[in-house]
Amino acid sequence: MDDFLPTPITTVDIPSQPQLYPIWLQAGVLSHLGACIRSVCPNSSRWLVVTDETVGSLYGATVVNNLESSGFQADLVTLPCGEASKSLASLETLWQAAQHHGLTRHDGFIALGGGVVGDVTGFAAATYQRGVGFVQVPTTLLAMVDASVGGKVAIHQNRCKNNIGAFYQPHAVVMDSDTLKSLPSRQVAAGWAEIIKTALLETTAIPNDIAQLANLMSDHSLDSTHSRLLDIIARCIAVKQAVVAADPTESTGHRMILNLGHTAAHALETVSGFGLLHGEAVALGLRVACHVGEQLGVWSPQASLQMDTWLQQAKLPCSVSEVLDKEVHFLLADVLKAMQGDKKSNSSGLRWVIPTATSGQTLGAVQIRSDVTQHQIQQALTHIGIG
Ligand code: GLY
């Protein structure tokens, strides 16, 4: 039995939650997954490992074997790859598997994969027997820097992104940076979009590293960049952790700042039928938000140029003509309509998270604006080649 318990990089403390949850981030930590889980859920005996076809074929057996050698019973459930798996049908598959394998309230689900697997597995964990154990094991850069921390879990409904879901904090997050070595370059780039978003929120430490690292990473030089990448992932987690701890359920509005770039991004993802990766949509959405910021006079063209350079260095699209999936077409009317269904709307209309380049070097240098006009939105969409 593996008894070695690595040291977490941090512990997330959500004031309204009974438990703190540790985050482990290091190369090779997956080989100590059982010990990590035993330290947070000592009374558990059975875990359902949920993954997708790609990640399952790479790491599924290793994870199940590790859990079994740590004395747990473990079973693997494999979902199809892609956003279509964030569905009621997947939830039913997971609930039934949990029942079939006799999961009790002391046991739980492990999400082994990217944001899709994490979101649907977390919602299954939140709802099965009114809430069971949940451990996030993110294997994509995007899930490590954003999706696996903070407890947002959801499925899509009628082409409406993340419309059915919950806030359900994990019991632990275990990130093995070695899994990034098998990540396709398009997925690596997608992860950089959330890093660049976080850099705009943080404005201090991360930006210095983006230019060099994004170039290196998208050329698959993970070995040479490993320690610096771990550092950047840890800093993104620190930013997210601070925001989530202050507003875990987005009730005060503060957590909305994490949705910088996401108003347009979610609409673009929906219109693309999820042919666009979330990170690619965020890259385009950041450009839209920045252009709106320029029109409102709170963001400078120079700052936009800086961000565009980062997006290019990370090999992210700056306009819809650069989107890799050529089957995807973006009609202005469709994008505007998709925006109306955005969860960030309130009774006074769409709320935009707008970056500010003038408000000092503080965390969350953004404004939440409800006064963005239709004309300004259309101008910003033209800027990414729509309309
Ligand atoms: N990804 C945005 C959030 O977790 O609030």
What are 140-152's pLDDT values in tens digits?
999 999 999 999 9
Ligand 1 mean position to 147 CA, how many Å? 7
Q: How confident is the model at residue 89 (pLDDT cuts 50, 70, 90)?
A: very high
Q: Which pLDDT value is given to residue 138?
A: 98
Ligand 1 mean position to 102 CA, how many Å? 32
Closest atom of ligand 1 to 150 CA is: 4
Is it the case that residue 117 has pLDDT exceeding 90?
yes
Q: How confident is the model at residue 170 (pLDDT cuts 50, 70, 90)?
A: very high
Amino acid sitting at position 138 = P
Percent of the chain, pLDDT > 70?
88
Mean pLDDT of 341-367: 70
Q: Which pLDDT value is given to residue 365?
A: 77
Q: Whose CA is nearest to atom 3 of ligand 1?
A: 258
Please count the residues of the chain.
387
Q: How confident is the model at residue 363 (pLDDT cuts 50, 70, 90)?
A: very low
Is it the case that residue 309 has pLDDT exceeding 80?
yes
Q: Which pLDDT value is given to residue 10?
A: 83
Calculate the dihedral angle through the C-alpha atoms of 217, 222, 225, 229, rounding to the nearest 10 degrees: 80
Mean pLDDT of 183-201: 91
Q: Looking at per-residue confidence, does 42 or 3 come out higher?
A: 42
From 140, 142, 144, 152, mutation site for ligand 1 pocket: most ligand atoms within 8 A of C-beta: 152
Q: How confident is the model at residue 361 (pLDDT cuts 50, 70, 90)?
A: very low
pTM: 0.93
- Does the Cβ of 248 fall within 6 Å of ligand 1? no
Ligand 1 mean position to 122 CA, how many Å? 14
Ligand 1 mean position to 255 CA, how many Å? 7
Domains annotated for the chain, with CATH where assigned, are 10-182 (3.40.50.1970), 185-383 (1.20.1090.10)
Ligand 1 mean position to 146 CA, how many Å? 7
Ligand 1 mean position to 245 CA, how many Å? 12
Closest atom of ligand 1 to 255 CA is: 5
Closest by CA position to 317, among listed 270, 287, 273, 280: 280
Q: Which pLDDT value is given to residue 12?
A: 83
Backbone angles phi, psi at 167, to 5 degrees: -100, 115
- Does the Cβ of 152 fall within 6 Å of ligand 1? yes
Mean pLDDT of 103-129: 98
Handedness of CA 334, 339, 341, 342 (dihedral sign): positive
State how beta strands 133-138 and 108-113 pair.
parallel
Mean pLDDT of 171-194: 93
Q: Looking at per-residue confidence, does 159 or 288 come out higher?
A: 288
pLDDT in tens, 195-210: 999 988 876 555 666 6
- Does the Cβ of 255 fall within 6 Å of ligand 1? yes
Q: Whose CA is nearest to atom 5 of ligand 1?
A: 258
Q: How confident is the model at residue 352 (pLDDT cuts 50, 70, 90)?
A: very high
Closest atom of ligand 1 to 147 CA is: 1
Q: Looking at per-residue confidence, does 197 or 9 come out higher?
A: 197
